A and B are shown apart, each in its own frame.
Chain A
Amino acid sequence: MDLHQNRKFFYVGLLSLVAIVYLIKIFRLQILDDKYEQKAIKNALNKIPIYPDRSIIYDRNGKLLVQNIAIYDLVVFPAKAKGIDTVAFSEIMNISGEQYHKYMASATENSKKRQKNNVFNGSAVFMSNLSKQQYSAIQENLYRFPGFSVEPKTDRLYAVKGGAHVLGYLGEVSKKLLAKDPYYRPGDLVGITGIENTYEPYIRGTKGVKTVWQDRTYTERGEAKDNEFNSPAQAGPDFYSSIDFDLQEFGESLLANKRGSVVAIEPSTGEILALINKPDYDPNLLVGDARAKSFRELLIDPKKPLYNRAIKGVYPPGSTFKTVMALIGCQEGVLKPGTQHGCSGGYHLGSLTVGCHPHSSPTDLKGSIGISCNAYYCQVFRDIIDNPKYTNVKAGYAALEKHLHSFGLGAKLGVDLPGENKGNVPSIQQLDKRHGKSWKSSMIISLAIGQGEILLTPMQMANCAAIIANKGWYVKPHLLKGIGTSKYLPDDYTKKNYTSVNELYYDWIINGMEMVPKPGGTAFGTGINDIVICAKTGTAQNPHGQEHSLYIAFAPRENPKIAIAVIVENGGFGATWAAPIANLMIENYLKRGKEPQRPDMLERIKTSTVN
């Protein structure tokens, strides 16, 4: 009765057809295409950053300056944050409804960006640096707000109140940096200035990654162990700064209620011992939830407490510049210890007069530095650039310019701080523009005494002092003593840079500088017994008001340990403010732990106000 037995093969064929077609399709998905495994991992694995501790910062003597403290970010996964009671939320977080929407909008944008970049699965910072009140309030209520979580981060905790411009501060990472460096997430803290900024790549440490499984609704489903993405956070290595914080603090107390800057350098190493600016600010202001508010206040403060004069401020070096001019004169062969020039209350040439203060005349090289004769250096300057060995004045000036550049002037020194100013050594083009194409030495004579177009930063002045102390070379000034256990220091900060002035001539100038704090010198009365301080005062004309008080020095003469430059804005004569401050700091550094010899002077300086 069974008429259709052959039709069995139809079923077997159909069965085989389905099996084969499906196996081919599955083979293509599983074997030929290998993108799916990565897609599955991307779906389910959420990489949560673990924030490392930043480097702990010590001074050169191992004194603790900066450490870390845990702070908290409120993080949101916008896709999951649905049905939030924004009124309750805003109340708990003490923000306005408007702010809530603003924060959420920016978090949503960041979250989308992150997902597009395939970096992490998109949670984004909603509010960073929660205050203690906000943190405890939200912790208790997190369950009410799906999609929100609290992530720990580290912020700075300062052990000291000073050194603000050395240490710098942290701030939220900028959009520009975010676009450039995928290491950062919005809301991250980065070094904005100071060594925090320069050494950010070292100091920040290395973020770790904790991976967790998360399901389609972005709910965490346990930690994902044993995968290639997990890594522990690595704290930044210990950071040793070259700063001598006791000296720094002492200097800050001397410069209190004044406007100005002090830079002290160890000549043999180029290590910066102190970098002081006044006015400044307490670094403790720029941490935690008060950061943004404090920063805004500091930014608009007319006293400019954020301004790092030591490397950004430029001043005419005034008479301190005579030391450099003398060295170049010697090198150019127009000046010897015995060279004498007269001074009749100034330098007179035709209708030109460069004034000078009354002193015995004529003077030799040593005396010209000790009593700071203007006329002497006008003559030296003219001898240098009008030297018959050069075809014309511009060739002579070009030689002078070259020498000045070898002292690190007119260019950035390469200090390890952001935003250094290069000062100014006027170029021939600049002089052409100012004085017409056919200028003469007499027209630019004020350069001889450190006035006119010549501008130096306090850092460059201190470096000049260090060069003279070293008799002809300097190591780029730097704030880093060493990073980590190996005390790593870039080669650039151990290399000696030589000036174009021969070592032989330095003693001739130093002889004069030794006279300065002694009887007959311009800074007589500010010296310290049993320390041979070699110095030069300066008084820089200031078109905006009272002259600036300047002083460069190093000590002791043999085997110098410290070179220093001090500028007190509107302080008048160099001997009035700058010299005592520098000499007291030299004493503090070289005679540490001993009774100060000049308590009267110390007291006067500390308590005086200069505007």
Chain B
Amino acid sequence: MDRIYSSREDNPALDTIVVWLYILLVLIGLISIYSSTSEVNQTFQFSLSSLAGRQLIWIGGAVFIILTIAFANVAIIDYFAYGFYGFAILLNIAVLFWGKEVAGAKSWFGIGGFGIQPCEFAKVATALAIAKYLGTYGIRFKGTRNVLITLSLFLFPMLLILAQNDTGSALVFLSFFLVLYREGLPGWILLSALWLMIIAIARIVMEATGISHIWTMSSLLSLTALIIYFGRRNKQLIFATLFIAALSALFSIVVGFAYTKILKGYQRDRIELVLGLKQDTRNMGYNLEQSRIAIGAGQLLGRGFLKGTQTKMGFVPAQHTDFIFCNICEEWGFIGVLVFFGLYFGLIFRLINLAERQYTAFGRVLGYGVVCILLFHITINIGMTIGIVPVIGIPLPFISFGGSSLWAFTLLLFLFLKVDEKRR
């Protein structure tokens, strides 16, 4: 261990680029929260009890976290990784019993006037734990035991969070599959996932529109037959194809069952809306349309700070939390979006490079953990506001209102920066 974390002070600071991007994004978030919770053209007024004021308090907490990490000994991170993970798991179990229910999800601890969402910290803890495990000397992502342990490290908290009925946050844990690809997860698994997604979507389209099953079944069959015909000399190919076809058919049946029997009406609505199978279903359609209007209304230069009526007056749902991207779009326009994307995707790009420059699997896995979690959040959150991903309630990191999310992402980011600072 000491060999990895030498006390050489050749990287005496946290990565400046990332820190600056972080600061800018958090400030953009604060401004957007202020804007989306104020009146149109209101003169400046600020109080700590307002939502923007509370976010400022959260930011204060985040600064405290950053300073603590900056001055802590990096060995502590490695040392307490499993402990932190265990603690997070316990919290997520406890919340099932003693948590309070918000919007149908039992995932909050109320502390005074503030609430804490343990699932946010589970992401950090899981990223740390997987990094720690795969960073352990002699362990690689290979072999049944190692793979199973790695998978259960993130699938277990994922199940816990599903049990809390917070589907969105649970789905975030799927991003660890992406992390594992860097560590040697075979490409065909990701390809299979893609294939399964295609089958699932096809099946859902069928179920929703009432197209006969025969069409997909027969196209699947003829595709299989074609491959078998052209590859008739290759027995392995024939078996593989038949196997895949059988699995696909089975999966399709499972999806069909899950879609019609397990998913709730509003969940089906969300999926069908995004797939363009439904024009409008009362609230969901209205919300998506309002979100689109807010974004579209921004045009090139935006409607101006404090002038976005869509994102101030309740037309866009959750205008200061999950849908806060709409506020940026409406008030700052396409130019603002370009700047915002530049900062945001720039941050992730920088993090990929940081992850790649790690000398240890621990650092690299942690780095890709940050990258994949952030990318997943952004893809889902922004995709949802612009209407190409179903509405899944997860926050936009650093931007959305909320202490748990801000603290968790700050923790995640700066733990990695600290590891990066002390790499070698």
Binds A, one of B262-270, B326-334, B399-407, B413-421: B326-334
Is the pair A30, B296 in contact by a Cβ cutoff of 8 Å?
yes
Contacts of A1-49 to chain B: CB distance below 8 A = 1-5, 7-8, 10-12, 14-16, 18-19, 21-23, 25-27, 29-31, 33-37, 39-41, 43-45
User: Given A7-B181, A22-B382: A29 and B333 within 8 A (CB)?
Assistant: no
What class of interface size applies to chain A in its complex with B? 35 or more
Q: Which of B182, B183, B329, B387 contacts A11 (CB 8 A)?
A: B182
What class of interface size applies to chain B in its complex with A? 35 or more
Is the pair B329, A30 in contact by a Cβ cutoff of 8 Å?
yes
Docked CA distance A27–B336 (Å): 12
Contacts of A218-274 to chain B: CB distance below 8 A = 221-222, 224-225
Q: Which of A18, A34, A40, A215 contacts B379 (CB 8 A)?
A: A18
User: Given A30-B300, A213-B309, A222-B40: A43 and B379 within 8 A (CB)?
Assistant: no
B316 (CB) vs chain A CBs: closest residue: A216
Is the pair B309, A41 in contact by a Cβ cutoff of 8 Å?
yes
Sorted nearest first, the 5 A-B pairs with minimum C-beta distance are A36-B296, A215-B313, A44-B309, A216-B314, A40-B297
Docked CA distance A495–B383 (Å): 73
21 inter-chain pairs at a CB distance below 8 angstroms, sorted by A residue, are: A1-B140, A2-B361, A11-B182, A14-B375, A26-B386, A27-B334, A31-B299, A36-B294, A37-B299, A40-B296, A40-B309, A41-B309, A43-B310, A44-B309, A44-B310, A44-B315, A213-B313, A215-B312, A216-B314, A221-B312, A224-B40
Q: In the complex, what's the smallest C-beta–C-beta distance from A213 to chain B, in angstroms?
A: 5
Is the pair A31, B334 in contact by a Cβ cutoff of 8 Å?
yes
Is the pair B296, A22 in contact by a Cβ cutoff of 8 Å?
no
Is the pair B299, A11 in contact by a Cβ cutoff of 8 Å?
no
Give 1 or 0 for each of B188-203: 1 = CB within 8 Å of chain A CB: 0000000000000000
Q: Which of B183, B310, B352 contacts A15 (CB 8 A)?
A: B352
Give 1 or 0 for each of A269-295: 1 = CB within 8 Å of chain B CB: 000000000000000000000000000
Q: In the complex, what's the smallest C-beta–C-beta distance from B362 to chain A, in angstroms?
A: 12
Docked CA distance A35–B289 (Å): 12
Q: Does A214 contact B (CB under 8 A)?
A: yes
Give 1 or 0 for each of B342-376: 1 = CB within 8 Å of chain A CB: 00010011001000100001001000100110010
Contacts of A27 in B (CB 8 A): 334
Contacts of A529 in B (CB 8 A): none
Contacts of A7 in B (CB 8 A): 181-182
Docked CA distance A5–B338 (Å): 30
Is the pair A30, B375 in contact by a Cβ cutoff of 8 Å?
no
Q: Which of A11, A37, A213, A216 contacts B297 (CB 8 A)?
A: A37
Q: Does B229 contact A (CB under 8 A)?
A: no
B140 (CB) vs chain A CBs: closest residue: A1
Contacts of B282-321 to chain A: CB distance below 8 A = 290, 292-300, 303, 309-310, 312-315
Contacts of B40 in A (CB 8 A): 44, 213, 221-222, 224
Contacts of B1-44 to chain A: CB distance below 8 A = 39-41
Q: In the complex, what's the smallest C-beta–C-beta distance from A210 to chain B, in angstroms?
A: 15
User: Given A11-B352, A18-B378, A43-B293: A216 and B300 within 8 A (CB)?
Assistant: no
Is the pair A8, B313 in contact by a Cβ cutoff of 8 Å?
no
Docked CA distance A596–B354 (Å): 113
Q: In the complex, what's the smallest C-beta–C-beta distance from A20 to chain B, in angstroms?
A: 10
Is the pair A25, B386 in contact by a Cβ cutoff of 8 Å?
yes
Is the pair B299, A43 in contact by a Cβ cutoff of 8 Å?
no
Is the pair B345, A19 in contact by a Cβ cutoff of 8 Å?
yes
Q: Does A217 contact B (CB under 8 A)?
A: yes
User: Given A30-B296, A40-B297, A43-B309: A3 and B333 within 8 A (CB)?
Assistant: no
Is the pair B181, A30 in contact by a Cβ cutoff of 8 Å?
no
A19 (CB) vs chain B CBs: closest residue: B345
Q: Does B341 contact A (CB under 8 A)?
A: yes
Pick the most buried of B290, B313, B348, B349: most chain A CB atoms within 10 A of its CB: B313
Docked CA distance A22–B387 (Å): 10
Contacts of A44 in B (CB 8 A): 40, 309-310, 313, 315
